[in-house]
Amino acid sequence: MELQFTKMQGIGNDFVVADCLIGGALSEDTLQSASKFLCDRKFGIGGDGVLLVLPSNGADYKMRMFNPDGTEAEMCGNGIRCFAKFVYDRGYTNKTVITVETLGGVKSLALRVQDGAVDQVKVDMGAPGLERADLPMTGEAGTALAQPVKVTGASVLVTGVSIGNPHIVYYRSPATDESVNHLGPLLEKHPLFPRRTNVHEVEVLSRREIKMLTWERGAGRTLACGTGACACVVASVLNDLTDRSVMAHLPGGDLLIEWSEEDNHVYMTGTATEVFTGAISLPS
């Protein structure tokens, strides 16, 4: 079977986008096996995930996202900005505010259009989940704020936040690749997290700026994580390390994250870029 696709990226987080509004959706089994192949940077196209553009009964569109290991993610912040650019630039909508159904809930997106194409998207990510059960994380009910977690004989203080998908945040200055490459896989699969978790190392630069490095569940090291940036800012506010409006610096670029006091929602603003289009034969 031949798949028509579009390669897109949001601050270095790259995706293979499959248009399922025309031609119908592939079966879940096919999608899971195909995602491994499509995300392979040597034998496939290469990407941090596969995005499916689908119709929705309760929103304007529906997004499904599959990781490079074949698992399905609840949400993807950088991916949903690419999704919004795809449906607008392809002429599926002329609205500059759209809703997208995800496993992490329905998200509202405001599109900034320049010269007939989307160049920036502000996403209402909803209210963060702060309870251990939201991740989920085993243990007594309540929040996980600067919670000590033992890995390889050391203790790491982590704060847990759900942005429709699970995240834990720990702090180190300076943040280093060596640290997150070591702790990331250990924390991702720690027994405390029965559904695994995304892991972020944060260096606080000021009350309005952070630097973050990411180990993504099911993908490993990535240049950016939109939901992760939201989680990092929420965690930093909870630990009284930053204000509620913060510029997050990721290896692939910057995201403006705002945690509103008015509605308790987290807002993420960033770019989205189309890289190329093509067709590929899926393995049988």
Between 31 and 167, the more confident residue is 167
Which pLDDT value is given to residue 38? Answer: 96
Which of 76, 82, 230, 232 is flagged as catalytic?
Answer: 76
pLDDT above 90 covers what percent of the chain?
A: 92
The domain spans of the chain are 2-125+271-281, 132-264
Q: How many CB atoms lie within 10 A of CB 217?
A: 23
pLDDT at 23 over 80: no
pLDDT at 28 over 80: no
Which of 39, 82, 225, 232 is flagged as catalytic?
Answer: 225
Per-chain mean pLDDT for the chain: 95
pLDDT, mean of residues 62-86: 96
Based on the residue annotation, tell me whether 230 is a catalytic residue of this protein: no
Q: What is the pTM of this model?
A: 0.94
Which pLDDT value is given to residue 96? Answer: 98
How many residues in total does the chain contain? Answer: 284
pLDDT, mean of residues 60-76: 95
Based on the residue annotation, tell me whether 39 is a catalytic residue of this protein: no
Between CA 91 and CA 85 the distance in angstroms is 10
Contacts of 125 (CB under 8 A, 6+ apart): 75, 77, 107, 163, 164, 227, 230, 265, 266, 267, 268
Using only the alpha carbons of the chain, give its radius of gyration. 18
Q: Which helix (H) or strand (E) holds 174?
A: none
pLDDT, mean of residues 146-154: 91
Fold match between domain 2-125+271-281 and domain 132-264: yes
Query: What is the CATH superfamily name and number for domain 132-264?
Result: Diaminopimelate Epimerase; Chain A, domain 1 (3.10.310.10)
pLDDT at 120 over 90: yes
Q: Assign domain 2-125+271-281 to its CATH architecture.
A: Roll (3.10)
- Omega of the bond leading into 174 within 30 degrees of 0 (cis): yes
